[in-house]
Structure 1
């Protein structure tokens, strides 16, 4: 199960990035994180940018609403999704067939 955190008007989403993949795709759950594959390589922030763009496109929001807040050089990252309610993010993840909940203290 992926555990979301709510901080102010943002939702924090733990992800497992797979740069250099054959295609851009939201793969599913991987070790309590949302696994996301991107074709961009992990070089000069290219994969991070592609990751944020893929999530923003999937959610139907502007790219500026999604940012990597931890794990810039790691495959394990946390994305901050601004301006969407936790219910919207929960519905999006449920539509992807991903089990989700909230971490304690949110």
Structure 2
């Protein structure tokens, strides 16, 4: 399965909710029924999984990783990122 293009969501100030699955078999971003799921191979410790999610999500959105700001869910599987201009 290829990474979906989420560029239609890449608007300044947009908030993007994702459901994270750490320790997955591979890195993957999928959109299922309006829910964005991000699978990362990284373990959820010291923010490593969150950093991996930001990297994958920025690639799928087509925006620089520095424009993604985590606004909710630093230690949760449900995270919300905002795209800053």
Distance 1:27 1:60 in 2: 15
Give the match for residue 61 of structure 1. 63
TM normalised by structure 1 equals: 0.64
Give the match for residue 3 of structure 2. none
Q: Which aligned runs of 4 or more in structure 1 are off by greater than 6 angstroms? A: none
Where structure 1 has 5 or more consecutive residues not aligned to the other structure, the ranges are 84-106
The counterpart of 2:14, out of the listed 11, 14, 19, is: 11
What is the aligned length? 76
Deviation, 1:67, is 2.3
Distance 1:18 1:26 in 2: 10
Matched, 1:20 2:45: no
TM normalised by structure 2 equals: 0.78
The structure with the largest strand share of the pair is 1
Bigger radius of gyration, 1 or 2? 1
CA-based RMSD: 1.9
